[in-house]
Amino acid sequence: MLFTRSKIVIACTLATGLALSACSKSNNDEEKQAPLTASAPATGEASTLSERNQQQRLIQTLQEGLKKANITAKISSVKATEVPNLFWVSFEGMSSVYATADGKYIIQGDVIRLGDKTLHNVSESLQSEVTKKELAKLKTEDLIVYKAKGKTQHVIYVFTDASCPYCHKLHEHLDEITSKGIEVRYIAWPRGDQFVPAMESVWCSANRQEAFNQAISGVQLPPASCKNPVRDMYKLGLNIGVNGTPAIYNTDGVYLGGYMEPSELIGRLNK
């Protein structure tokens, strides 16, 4: 079913709760391949071509390994990271992960750089680039938009579900948030199959704001059927790593957090 997070067969259970298999064995041909290496951005046409070839080889190796493990996951992009021999791999319909340069291991979670007075989350900047591009593809007419009162200082995207208690709690602060110059854009993200009809009823309503107000307060909306983006929005959330609601992002694709008091949200936006 579409709203099932089991996109891949569980072979190794990771701490994040998503299941990924990185335990496939390499055949002899794969073992004979020269290892790939991640280096600083190359200059010159030859170097650029070499990098492209390395990335294509990595994609091929990963796809073969996933296929052997009976995992259907299409790779959309591969990017070298600041960590030697570690690549950032984006998929269609699931969260991005790290992969070793030889394509033998997939790693979920954050990579933290030490050496400065504060810790630097390498994963955050990589994921925000992907998220920013995905959010930029959204059309405002497909969202539920609450305009800022007065001059718009910030715009946030909120993945929400009418059945979510913390979404309800955040929604109660909407007037206060918009009064601070923050435009709020709701994206549908039903947390399970049973919540899809309610969100589709909201998105099929002539007045989505009013319909969402009713749905989030517990009113059962009449079933509705129309061409709507709810399922596509759910897929978008999966692509950028959403695993619960509310999930709040700024326009740069940075994940700000889940439920926050308005003062905390404003502090994060101004940080």
Specify the pLDDT at position 45.
55
Please report how many Cα atoms fall inside a 13 Å half-sphere around the Cα of residue 141, on the Cβ side: 1
Looking at the domain assignment, is residue 119 inside a domain?
no
| Residue 124 covered by a domain | no
Give mean pLDDT, residues 237-259. Answer: 95
In this prediction, residue 226 carries a pLDDT of 94
User: What is the token pair recorded at 9?
Assistant: 């067969």
State which of 60, 89, 109 marks the end of a domain: 109
Does residue 61 register a pLDDT over 60? yes
* Phi-psi category of residue 109: left, alpha or beta, with phi > 0 → left and psi -120 to 50 → alpha: left
- Out of 102, 185, 191, 204, pick the active-site residue: 191
Alpha-carbon Rg for the chain in angstroms: 21
For this structure, is 191 an active site residue? yes
Q: Which of 251, 269, 248 is nearest to 259 (CA)?
A: 248
Supply the range of the domain harboring residue 100.
Answer: 12-109
Check whether 16 has a pLDDT greater than 90.
Answer: no
Which of 69, 93, 109 is the last residue before a domain boundary? 109
Contact 174, 260 (CB under 8 A): no
Same domain, 228 and 166: yes
> Does residue 240 share a domain with residue 163?
yes
pLDDT, one tens digit per residue, over 130-160 is 899 999 999 999 999 999 999 999 999 999 9
Q: Considering the chain, what percentage of its residues have pLDDT values greater than 90?
A: 65
What digits encode the pLDDT tens for the residues 73-103? 889 889 999 999 999 998 887 788 999 999 9
- Tally of domains in the chain: 2
Q: Look up 102 and say whether it is catalytic.
A: no
Same domain, 171 and 238: yes
Q: Which amino acid is at 6?
A: S
Cis peptide before 246 (omega within 30 of 0): yes
Q: Which of 167, 185, 204, 208 is catalytic?
A: 167
| CB-CB neighbours of 68 under 10 Å | 14
Residue 258 forms part of a structural domain: yes
pLDDT exceeds 70 at position 203: yes
Is there a catalytic annotation at residue 268?
no
Average pLDDT, the chain: 84
Does pLDDT of 109 surpass 60?
yes
Is 27 inside a domain boundary?
yes
- pLDDT score of 34: 37
User: Which tokens is 142 given?
Assistant: 């497909």
Residues 250 and 144 in one domain: yes
Whether residue 207 has pLDDT greater than 90: yes
Q: Residue 108 above 60 pLDDT?
A: yes
pLDDT value of position 47? 56
Alpha helices in the chain (DSSP H): 28-32, 45-68, 122-136, 165-172, 174-179, 196-203, 208-216, 230-240, 262-270
132 within a domain of the structure (yes/no): no
Catalytic residue among 5, 12, 52, 161: 161
Provide the pLDDT for residue 13.
32
> Which of 5, 102, 113, 164 does the annotation list as catalytic?
164
Does a structural domain hold residue 6? no
Q: Is residue 128 part of a domain?
A: no
Quickly state the pLDDT bin for 33 (edges 50, 70, 90): very low
Last residue of a domain, one of 90, 109, 128: 109
Mean per-residue pLDDT, 103-125: 90
At residue 222, φ and ψ (nearest 5 deg) are: -65, 145
Q: Contact at 8 Å (CB) between 245 and 187?
A: no
Q: Tell me: pLDDT of 267 over 50.
A: yes
Examine the domain organization and report whether 257 and 155 are in the same domain: yes
* Residue 183 φ/ψ, nearest 5 degrees: -85, 130
pLDDT band at 38 (very low <50, low <70, confident <90, very high): very low
Q: At what angle do helices 122-136 and 230-240 cross, to 10 degrees?
A: 160
Is residue 23 part of the annotated active site? The answer reads: no
